């Protein structure tokens, strides 16, 4: 999930009386969405065995036992309190992320998904993804996860090289990484392997071997991430020796050629899929769809006919549990302004290598595409995007300088 900074405070629900709804039409700068986008559900599990030195996600080391039941009770309260925001809307995908959700007991996961089905109208063939780390793989537990309704795993392999796993601070070794994929294959017909490249002291040959090992398992989906030094991480404070820009570029070229030769579609900056196996949950993010995020530190984006709301939950598990028990787990909330809408939309959709239809901008923002004409013209003039009446997409140059391209839409 792409974290987005949220500002503001308080908790609001969409007005339900005819009078208050009518007032929305009088608000200056109100949006006009003809239809609401697809809705996904994100559930955050905040604990992990050990915090990795490169990780900037909301994860907390589980020192001894963690309060699983108390947390699940808080998640239920959170979901119940959020229902007025999404009345009548069907949920098409569910993603359980972390942290390390596979630390959850089989009983706890079953309870969680039973709660989701009880409280929400879930699409009959909904994609239900769970993140899992190799150090937590137990065959029987994962059979139970599958029986409870998880139909897609996203496995945080990162590397099949023992030395690189040690440098990344992972709790598993290369043998456990291989065994995790084998267990996934035996129980799931849909899974994703997360790999990283440009690792400390990694050579092109080693990156190539990692990818070849991953492909040997014929995964339906691959996520291939360039290691970056994120603020407020151990690696940011004590940076390791990383491959230089030329070596990293060689690895990117190798990945593009190797995955294409293996029949994978490179459909998003870091995502590669066999035909028909794209990640539906993340596609909804990248197409500026809606998502309700519950759990510690989770983010939401919820559309209404005349406004789009962003929320963030309390990050610390203890604070989140207490806030949910008190009736308001939302720490920060604000509406996306018209001035920020173009940037927020393009921040996501420009990650798609095939681009998007200009009509999607109007459908998801309630604004005309002419609202971002100036930066579109500037980006086209610099050769960063291609556009016609059917498509807007980043060029190969635009993909290489994606951050610069996205920044052009700030304040558009």
pLDDT in tens, 256-287: 999 999 999 999 999 999 999 999 999 999 99
Pair 244, 105 in one domain: yes
Dist. CA 188–CA 65, nearest whole Å: 28
Dist. CA 155–CA 181, nearest whole Å: 8
For residue 300, tell me if it sits in a domain.
Answer: no
Tell me the CATH number at 198: 3.20.20.70
Q: DSSP code of 24?
A: G
Whether the pLDDT of residue 15 is over 60: the answer is no
Q: What pLDDT is recorded for position 263?
A: 97
Contact 211, 157 (CB under 8 A): no
What phi, psi does 408 have (nearest 5°)? -65, -20
Q: In the chain, how many domains are there?
A: 2
Q: What pLDDT is recorded for position 11?
A: 29
> In which domain, by residue range, is 227 found?
28-284
Pair 160, 276 in one domain: yes
Whether the pLDDT of residue 152 is over 60: the answer is yes
- Indicate the pLDDT class of residue 9, thresholds 50, 70 and 90: very low
Pair 250, 354 in one domain: no
Whether the pLDDT of residue 8 is over 90: the answer is no
Tell me the CATH number at 347: 1.10.10.10
Plot region of 158 (φ>0 → left; ψ -120 to 50 → alpha; else → beta): left
Contact 139, 103 (CB under 8 A): no
Among 226-230, 279-283, 352-356, which stretch is predicted with the lowest mean pLDDT? 226-230
Q: What pLDDT is recorded for position 29?
A: 63
What phi, psi does 313 have (nearest 5°)? -85, 165
For residue 15, tell me if it sits in a domain.
Answer: no
Q: Cβ neighbours of residue 362 under 8 Å, at least 6 residues apart?
A: 368, 369
pLDDT in tens, 21-60: 333 333 556 788 999 999 999 999 999 988 887 777 888 8
Percent share of the chain, pLDDT over 90 = 80
pLDDT in tens, 158-191: 999 999 999 988 888 889 999 999 999 999 999 9
Whether the pLDDT of residue 246 is over 60: the answer is yes
Q: What pLDDT is recorded for position 16?
A: 25
Among positive and negative, which fits the CA dihedral 140, 123, 263, 135? negative
Pair 229, 347 in one domain: no
Q: Is the peptide bond before 208 cis (omega within 30 degrees of 0)?
A: no
For residue 107, tell me if it sits in a domain.
Answer: yes
């Amino acid at each position: 999930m792409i974290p987005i900074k949220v500002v503001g405070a308080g908790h609001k629900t969409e007005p339900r009386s005819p009078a208050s709804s009518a007032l929305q039409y009088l608000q200056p700068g109100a949006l006009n969405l003809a239809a609401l986008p697809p809705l996904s559900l994100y559930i955050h599990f905040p604990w992990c065995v050990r915090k990795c030195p490169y990780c900037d996600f909301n994860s907390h080391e589980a020192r001894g036992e963690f309060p699983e039941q108390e947390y699940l009770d808080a998640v239920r309260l959170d979901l119940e309190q959020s229902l007025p925001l999404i009345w009548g809307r069907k949920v098409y995908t569910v993603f359980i992320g972390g942290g390390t959700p596979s630390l959850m007991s089989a009983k706890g996961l079953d309870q969680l998904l039973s709660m989701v089905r009880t409280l929400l109208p879930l699409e009959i063939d909904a994609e239900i993804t769970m993140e899992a780390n190799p150090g937590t793989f137990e065959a029987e537990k994962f059979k139970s996860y599958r029986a409870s309704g998880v139909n897609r795993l996203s496995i945080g392999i990162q590397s099949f090289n023992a030395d690189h796993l040690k440098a990344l601070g992972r709790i598993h070794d290369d043998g456990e990484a291989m065994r995790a994929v084998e267990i996934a294959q035996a129980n799931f017909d849909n899974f994703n392997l997360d790999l990283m490249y440009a690792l400390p002291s990694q050579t092109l040959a080693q990156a190539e071997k990692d990818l070849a090992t991953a492909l040997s398992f014929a995964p339906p989906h691959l996520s291939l991430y360039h290691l970056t030094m994120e603020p407020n991480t151990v690696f940011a404070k004590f940076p390791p020796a990383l491959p230089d820009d030329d070596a990293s570029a060689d690895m990117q070229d190798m990945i593009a050629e190797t995955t294409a030769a293996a029949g994978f579609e490179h459909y998003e900056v870091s995502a590669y899929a066999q035909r028909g196996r794209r990640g539906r949950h993340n596609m909804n993010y990248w197409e500026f769809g809606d998502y309700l995020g519950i759990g510690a530190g989770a983010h939401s984006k919820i559309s209404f006919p005349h406004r789009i709301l962003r929320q963030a939950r309390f990050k610390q598990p203890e604070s989140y549990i207490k806030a949910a028990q008190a009736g308001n787990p939302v720490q920060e909330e604000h509406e996306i302004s018209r001035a920020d809408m173009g940037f927020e939309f393009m921040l996501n959709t420009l990650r798609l290598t095939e681009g998007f239809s200009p009509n999607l901008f109007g459908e998801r923002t309630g604004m005309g595409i002419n609202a971002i004409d100036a930066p579109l013209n500037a980006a086209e003039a610099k050769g960063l995007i291609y556009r016609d009446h059917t498509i807007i997409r980043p060029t190969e140059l635009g993909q290489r300088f994606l951050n610069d391209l996205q920044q052009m839409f700030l304040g558009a």
